[in-house]
Amino acid sequence: MIRLFIYLIIILALGFGFAWIADNPGVVTLNWQGKDIRTSLMVVVIAIGALLFVLLFIWGLFRGVIGFPSFLSRYFTNRRRDRGYQALSKGLIAAGTGDKDLARRLSKESGKLLKNEPLVELLDAQTCLLEGNREAARGRFQTMLSSEDTKLLGLRGLYLEAEREGEREASRLYAEEASQLAPTLAWAGNAKLRNLSKDGDWEAALGTLESNRAAGLIDKDTAKRHRAVLLTARAIDEEPTNPELAAKLAKEAHRLAPDLVPAAVIGAKALVRGNNLRKASKLIEAVWKRAPHPELAQSYIHLRMGDSATDRLKRARNLAKMRTNHPEGNMAIAEAAMDAKDWEAAREAMKSVLANNITERACLIMADIEEGEYADAGRMRDWLSRAVRAPRDAKWTAEGYTSETWLPISPVSGEIDVFEWKVPVEQLQISNDTIDIGDLAEPLKPQIPAALVEVPAKEQLADGDNIKPQVAAVAAGAIVAGNIGDEDSKDTDIAEGVSSEASIEEDVSTDIVEEANVIELMPEKSEIVEGKAENSEGEKSEKIAPEIETDENQASGEEEEKPTTAVFPLPRRPDDPGVEQNDSNKNKSFKIF
């Protein structure tokens, strides 16, 4: 723009000059060897301009003839250079696309056309890597170290090769040297920080992190989060020997990252060792309100050593109130209630969890409740089988790696703060089976003591309307025979022997007679059976062998079925293998379900 303005000024000046000469004509006289030459001023000006033009043309022609050899040399040099850069460009593209043959050919071509070009060395090294010749590639990177222009490029290549080969010491040296040459180099600074973190040198890692932040390699928020993670890691190491320093580091980490669960857990542990229970409780409560976590719940419930199970249950309820109806709070209450043997409270806490967020852990808790309250192996196994099909619970996960405990760095890549509390990726796919808890969340119904089971007399069994209750009574009587040694036992297995799906077939009379024959073996239990003639001389009890006349009902086609109440809430016991009913003529012995 400035040049154009200058050109316009020059042209304007020339125009004004010619106009002034035209307005003021004059005569120019030239005396040359006694002769006078007279002409106008305009002609003289034009002649001078033409003379200057001719002189410039002659000078340019002279320079062209004299400088023609050098001109040809420059032409061919530039052409060679252009061809070299074109081959280099195509070679880099070929190396990027993985075409090693084309990359090798273009690498050789560019190497011939371009001398002392750093990019040629890079293309050659990349081609060697494509060909699998890593020794040659490392040789090219070593060559780059001799030049100041390519030294950082060589260090970068050697660092990557050392990382690939697992040579940690070599990669550390290359990264540190590159960091000294260029403090603002992101890969070198981050590599140095990762190496220090892998070694557990948290104090040096904190210093490197601050240097990276000052150099602008990471933003402010990321630096704060990483500092909190490194402080937490250092607190974990210091807690066994120096709980005061660990508590101080954990507090600073909590201030930088208020939702960092491990900082609260280790901080509370260190504060408890210093007999500062109140601050420990406040620290856990502050993080719990932001991010409820099972580790926080366990730390809070067992914060004070020597507490009774009831006291721990109270603490669990107090923590759960801070985040109402959160699954972690309800499961914490259930686990504390199981320790306190308060099964009703445990079931009540698990109701909302089972209704909204049933997971593997919830099913396992219910299995523990069933085993602890009733020692019911069937319902416990049913919950365990549901746990297999239930959605997985969240774990500490980083880059496809899961850990039972939190780690400050990834064991895969060494990156800081990559562990997250989430469901592992490989477990996201859930079974299509529908998980229906049904009555399993409810406690078992009251059991019927064996001493209260009444077996109808022979006359009553003949009534076709009472067939199913009679079968239940006889089955209960069979159980009594199996419990002769304990007269006052209220065995809960009595009611479980009754099947709600039992059906009376044509051979029902034979089944009942066979079951009654078993009762013949228990003379000392004869007083619990109605309709029995007691022998005053101490003889054995009468054999109960009711005869049921069902021919009339079968002949008339009238068959009434009255629903029976199943004591066990499932259609079939979970531990029942589901054996098919045998033929009625086959002998039976204490087969109650």
**What is the tens place of the pLDDT at every residue in 112-159?**
888 878 888 888 998 999 988 889 999 889 988 888 888 998 999 999
pLDDT at 14: 80
Name 36's bridge partners.
31
Report the alpha-carbon distance of residue 531 to residue 544 in Å, rounded. 9
Residue 41 structure tokens: 């001023």
Residue 482 pLDDT > 80: no
Give the domain-ending residue among 444, 459, 494: 444
The answer to whether residues 502 and 552 belong to one domain is yes
Residue 101 belongs to a domain: yes
Report the alpha-carbon distance of residue 359 to residue 363 in Å, rounded. 6
Count how many Cα atoms sit within 13 Å of the Cα of residue 325 in the half-sphere of its side chain: 6
CB atoms within 10 A of CB 154: 24
Residue 490 pLDDT > 50: no
Residue 589 belongs to a domain: no
116: left (phi over 0), alpha (psi -120 to 50) or beta: left
Report the alpha-carbon distance of residue 106 to residue 127 in Å, rounded. 10
Residue 428 pLDDT > 80: no
Residue 478 structure tokens: 């069979």
Report the alpha-carbon distance of residue 29 to residue 340 in Å, rounded. 132
Report the alpha-carbon distance of residue 60 to residue 434 in Å, rounded. 94
pLDDT at 582: 45
Residue 104 pLDDT > 70: yes
The answer to whether residues 540 and 462 belong to one domain is yes
Backbone angles phi, psi at 67, to 5 degrees: -95, 15
pLDDT at 441: 55
The answer to whether residues 482 and 400 belong to one domain is no
The answer to whether residues 399 and 461 belong to one domain is no
User: Can you give the residue range of the structural domain that contains 371?
Assistant: 358-444
CA angle (381 as vertex; 377, 383 as ends), nearest 5: 120
- pLDDT tens, residue by residue, 445-480: 544 444 444 444 444 444 444 444 443 433 333 333
Report the alpha-carbon distance of residue 332 to residue 288 in Å, rounded. 12
Confidence of residue 439 (pLDDT cuts 50, 70, 90): low
Average pLDDT for 244-261: 94
DSSP result, 160-194: HHHHHHT-HHHHHHHHHHHHHH-TT-HHHHHHHHH
Contact between residue 128 and residue 134 where contact means Cβ atoms under 8 Å apart: yes
- Tell me the C-alpha to C-alpha distance, in Å, between residue 523 and each of 74, 461, 477, 542: 126, 21, 12, 9
The answer to whether residues 365 and 426 belong to one domain is yes
Residue 480: which residues within 8 A CB-CB, separation 6 or more?
Answer: 450, 453, 494, 519, 522, 525, 528
Confidence of residue 17 (pLDDT cuts 50, 70, 90): confident
- Tell me the C-alpha to C-alpha distance, in Å, between residue 1 and each of 4, 298, 392, 472: 5, 75, 70, 110
Query: For residue 397, what is the enclosing H or E element?
Result: strand 395-398
Backbone angles phi, psi at 170, to 5 degrees: -65, -45
Contact between residue 471 and residue 500 where contact means Cβ atoms under 8 Å apart: no
Residue 325 belongs to a domain: no
pLDDT at 577: 43
- Tell me the C-alpha to C-alpha distance, in Å, between residue 314 and each of 234, 284, 304, 508: 33, 16, 13, 55
- What is the Cα 461 distance to its own chain's centre? 64
DSSP result, 135-146: HHHHHHHHHHTT
- Tell me the C-alpha to C-alpha distance, in Å, between residue 70 and each of 43, 73, 75, 76, 79: 41, 5, 8, 10, 14
The answer to whether residues 100 and 57 belong to one domain is no
The answer to whether residues 544 and 456 belong to one domain is yes
pTM beyond 0.75: no
Structural domains counted in the chain: 4
Higher pLDDT, 159 or 566: 159
Give the domain-ending residue among 132, 158, 179: 132
Higher pLDDT, 91 or 357: 91
pLDDT at 452: 43
Residue 40 pLDDT > 70: yes
Average pLDDT for 419-423: 91
Report the alpha-carbon distance of residue 414 to residue 408 in Å, rounded. 9
pLDDT at 444: 54
Contact between residue 91 and residue 123 where contact means Cβ atoms under 8 Å apart: yes
Residue 48 belongs to a domain: yes
3-state secondary structure of 398: strand
Burial 261-296 (b: 16+ CB within 10 A, else e): bbbbbbbbbbbbeeebeeebbebbbebbeeebbbbb
Residue 482 belongs to a domain: yes
pLDDT at 316: 94
pLDDT at 290: 92
Average pLDDT for 58-68: 85
Average pLDDT for 204-231: 91
Tell me the average pLDDT of the chain.
75
With tokens 């703060």, the residue in question is 417
pLDDT at 515: 41
Of the chain, the end-to-end C-alpha distance in Å amounts to: 103
The answer to whether residues 41 and 75 belong to one domain is no
Q: Name which of 66-70, 270-274, 306-310, 483-487 the model is least confident about.
A: 483-487
How do 27-32 and 35-40 pair as beta strands? antiparallel
The answer to whether residues 434 and 470 belong to one domain is no
The answer to whether residues 103 and 29 belong to one domain is no
Report the alpha-carbon distance of residue 469 to residue 565 in Å, rounded. 10
SS (H, E, C) 66-131: HCHHHHHHHHHHHHHHHHHHHHHHHHHHHHHHCCHHHHHHHHHHHHHHCCCCHHHHHHHHHHHHHC
- pLDDT tens, residue by residue, 293-322: 999 999 999 988 888 999 999 999 999 999
The answer to whether residues 366 and 456 belong to one domain is no
Residue 151 structure tokens: 């030294």
pLDDT > 90 in the chain, percent:
31
How do 401-403 and 27-32 pair as beta strands? unpaired
Residue 125 belongs to a domain: yes
pLDDT at 76: 85
Q: Name which of 27-36, 116-125, 336-345, 426-435 the model is least confident about.
A: 426-435
Give the domain-ending residue among 51, 66, 81: 66
Residue 196 belongs to a domain: no
The answer to whether residues 500 and 538 belong to one domain is yes
401-403: strand order across its sheet = 401-403, 395-398, 420-422
Residue 103 belongs to a domain: yes
Report the alpha-carbon distance of residue 513 to residue 461 in Å, rounded. 11
